[in-house]
Structures are given as C-alpha cells and as structure tokens.
Structure 1
Amino acid sequence: MSEITLIRHGQANTGARTEEDYDRLSDLGRRQAEWLGEHLLSVGGFDRVISGTLRRQQETAALVNRGGRPHRRDPRLNELDYFRLSHALEARDGIPFPTDTASFAAHVPQVLELWRAGHAGPDHESYDAFRDRVLDAIHDAAAEGSGAVLVTSTGVIATLCALALGLETVVKARMFLRILNTSVHRFAIDGEGLHLIQFGATPHLDHPDRHAARTHY
C-alpha cells in the first residue's frame, strides 16, 4: 500500500472572472503556503513534491517545499477549467457567473452537473477525460512509493474524494465548496482501489491567531 498527500494551493486572486486573472496567489495565499511549509519541515514525512503546472500550484509548491525536496510538474494535476465551463452553462441555460458567495454555492453543482452530463460541448475537456488523467497521475505517484506531496486544486481533490467514497454529484459539489486553501488530504492506494484517510487538515492554521487565515476562495 502507498500513501500520498494532496495539498490545495493557497488563496488565489479572489474576485477574478477569468482563469488567467485567477491564477496567482494573493498575499494571504503566499502566507498560508509559507506556514504550511514551516509545519511540514518540522514534521518531515515527504521526500518529493509534485505539482500541476498552473502558476498558483507551482507558487504554492515552491513555498511549501522548505526542505528543497525534488519538485517535478505534472499537468495531469491541473484544475478543471471552471470559468470556461461556467460560460458553457450561461450559453446553454442563461445562468450568469455568480457575484457573491451564496450564488457561487448554488452555481458549483450546476456547473459540475452540466459537465458530468456531457453538455459542455466538444471544445471542453470531458469529465471522463479529467477523471482519468487525475487517477493516472495519482497512481503514477503512488507507484513511485509513499512520501509524495502533490500540490493541486479543489476539483482534483473533490473528484478523488468522491471516487474514494462513492459520492454523487451534489455531495461532491458540497465537498468542492468546503476544501480550504492549503488544506492537506491523504489517500492510500492498494489493490482494492483508492481510500481516503484524511480530509481537509489545516495544522498550520490551527493556531488561534491564524484562524482568520482559513479561506475557501
């Protein structure tokens, strides 16, 4: 059995309306990653870092990797393109991109269901293709042995959790919304499949003076 750890990137550019604008860490996001890096350095337990190729993922990986472990990039850990999928939802159903937290919470399951049902159109990566490339990345990392820290994004983590737990789309969307920036998740992989053994840990943010730094967006 191999165990791998997945970390969500730090807070990105909240309020952005395009992937390009979103794809960079905020000042708080950088601090979140630095704190997590300090924590991981103090407890050890990983020997390599793998991140997606998105800017926010690579920036987080560099800040987390305080011990200078080998770091490679794997585009299979990149996030789903939520902004383009939201455009497909608006074009099909007239549902605009959300402007506040409450409307975003309602928007996520609508986007994910459109995508899962195959209604986003041929110009978008399909849900099946996304799921398969994420699983391939996880299995390849596990085949190299335990000790990998993978820096990725909410959609990747929520998809793996849903697969491990057999969750339906609506519950997966709720999980998507509850994954904190720089939260830590652990999976075990063996001959029986994928097992979730830790969800959403934030030991680096558990200090009372850091509670305000817990963010979802």
Structure 2
Amino acid sequence: MTEITLIRHGQANSGARNEEDYDRLSPLGRQQAEWLGAHLRATGGFERLISGTLRRQEETAAALNLDGRPHHRDARLNELDYFGLSHAIQARHGIPFPDSPDAFAAHVPQVLDLWRNGDAGEGHESYDAFRNRVLGAVEDAAGDGAGAVLVTSTGVIATLCALALGLEAVMKARMFLRVMNTSVHRFDYSDGTLHLSQFGAIPHLDHPDRHAARTHF
C-alpha cells in the first residue's frame, strides 16, 4: 500500500472570467502555500514533489519550498477546462457564466452534469478522458514509491475522491465546492484500488490568526 498526498493550489485570481486571467496565485494564495510548506517541512515524510503544469500549480509548488526535494511536472494533474466548458454550455444551453459565489455554487453541478453526459458540445476533453488521465497520474506516482506530494486542482481532487468512495455525480459536485485552497488530501493506493484516508485537512490554517485565510475561491 502506497500513500499519496494531493494538495490544491493556493488561491488564484478568483475574479477572472477566463483561464488565462485566473491562472496565477493571489498574494494570499502564495501565503497559504508558504504556511503549508512550513508545516510539511516540520512533519516530514515527503520525498518528491509533483505538480501539474498550470501556472497556479507550479507557483504553489515553488512556494511550498520543500527543502530542495525534486520537483517533477505532470500535465495529467492539470484542471479540467472549466472556463471553456462554461462558455460552450452557455452558447449551447443558455446557462450564463456565474457572477457571484452563490451563482457559482449553483453553476458547478450544472456544468459537471452536462459535461459528464456529453452535452457540452465538441472540442473538449471528455469526462472519461479526464478521469482516466488523473487516475493514471496517481497510479504512476504510487508506482514510484511512497512520499509523493502532488499539487493539483479542485476537479482532480473531487474526481479522485468520488472514484475512491463510489460517489454519484451530484455528490462529486458538492465535494468540488468544498475543496479549500492548499487543503491536503491523502489516498492509499493498493492493488489497483484507490482509498481515501484524509479529505480537506488545513492544519496550517488552524491557527486563530489564520482563520480568515481559509478560502474556496
């Protein structure tokens, strides 16, 4: 059995309406990652760092500052194309892009459901292809041995949790919305099966003076 740790990137540019503008850490996002890095260095047990190739993921990995441990990049850890899917679904189904946190919370289940059912139009990575690539990234990381920290994004984490727990699509959408920035998730991989052992830990933000730094967007 091999333990794999997944971390969501720090807070990005949450007011953006396209991927290019969104894909960078906010000052708070960088601080979140630095605090988490200090916690990880104090607790140990990590031999290597793997991130996706998105800017916010790489910036988070760099801000963790894990004492010179090797940093590998794997594009299979990149997020689903939420902005692209959203704009395609708006054009196809008339569902507007959200303009508030409450609207976003209602938007996510609609987008994920239409995407999973193949109703998001052409030209996008399919749900099955996304699921297979993220599971493949975890399988390969586990195959290289214990002690891997993977920096990724909400959709990847929620998908892996849903696979490990056998959740229906509606529950996956709810989980998508509960993954905090720089939260820590642990999985055990054994005999080709993924098991969730920890969801959404934020020990680096449990200090009373850091509670305001807990963010989802």
Fold conserved between structures, TM > 0.5 = yes
| Structure 1 match to 2:41 | 41
CA distance in 2, matches of 1:198, 1:65: 23
Q: Which residue of 2 aligns with 1:140?
A: 140
Q: Deviations over 1:100-149 (max 9, x none)?
A: 11111000000000110011223000000000000110000000011000
CA distance in 2, matches of 1:89, 1:109: 12
Q: Which residue pairs with 2:211 in the alignment?
A: 211
What is the match of residue 117 of structure 1?
A: 117
Runs of 4+ displaced beyond 2 Å: none
User: What amino acid maps onto 2:172 in structure 1?
Assistant: K
- The TM-score, its normalising length taken from structure 1, stands at 0.99
CA distance in 2, matches of 1:204, 1:210: 8
Structure 2: distance between partners of 1:192 and 1:86: 33
- Report the more deviating stretch, 12-21 or 113-122: 113-122
Please say if residues 49 and 65 of structure 1, whose CA atoms lie closer than 8 Å, have aligned partners that are also in contact.
Answer: no
Structure 2 alignment gaps of length 5 or more: none
Matches for 1:67-146 after TM superposition, within 5 Å: 67-146=67-146
Counterpart contact for 1:10–1:29, Cα < 8 Å: yes
Distance 2:85 2:133 in 1: 18
- Cα distance in 2 for residues equivalent to 1:139 and 1:66: 23
Q: Distance in 1 between matches of 2:122 and 2:108?
A: 20
- Per the TM alignment, residue 76 of structure 1 is displaced from its structure 2 partner at its CA by 0.2
**Secondary structure at the counterpart of residue 177 of structure 2:** helix
Question: Partners of 1:23 and 1:87 in 2: how far apart?
Answer: 17
TM-score (structure 2 length as normaliser): 0.99
Identity %: 76
Give the aligned residue type for 2:161. C
Aligned position for 2:186: 186
Q: Could you tell me how far apart the structure 2 residues matched to 1:177 and 1:130 are? A: 18
Does residue 1:31 correspond to 2:31, yes or no? yes
Alignment of 1:159-174 (within 5 A): 159-174=159-174
Of stretches 51-60 and 63-72 in structure 1, the one that deviates more from structure 2 is 63-72
2: CA distance, partners of 1:172 / 1:88? 21
In structure 2, distance between residues paired with 1:205 and 1:176? 20
For the residue of structure 2 that corresponds to 1:37, the secondary structure is helix
3-state SS of paired residue (1:49): strand
Show the counterpart of 1:8. Answer: 8
**Cα shift at 1:192:** 5.4
Structure 1 position 92, deviation (Å): 1.6
**Alignment size in residue pairs:** 217
1:153 aligns with: 153
The 1-side partners of 2:195 and 2:91 are apart by: 37
Aligned-pair CA distance for 1:64: 1.1
| Structure 2 counterpart of 1:202, one-letter code | I
C-alpha separation between the residues in 1 aligned to 2:14 and 2:91?
24
Q: Distance in 2 between matches of 1:194 and 1:214?
A: 28
CA distance in 2, matches of 1:196, 1:149: 15
Are the counterparts in 2 of residues 76 and 134 from structure 1 also a CA contact under 8 Å? Answer: yes
In the alignment, the residues of structure 1 paired with residue 102 and residue 208 of structure 2 have an alpha-carbon distance, to the nearest angstrom, of: 27
> What is the rounded CA distance, in whole Å, between the counterparts of 2:118 and 2:10 in structure 1?
30
**Cα distance in 2 for residues equivalent to 1:45 and 1:65:** 15
Shift in Å at residue 88 of structure 1?
Answer: 1.5
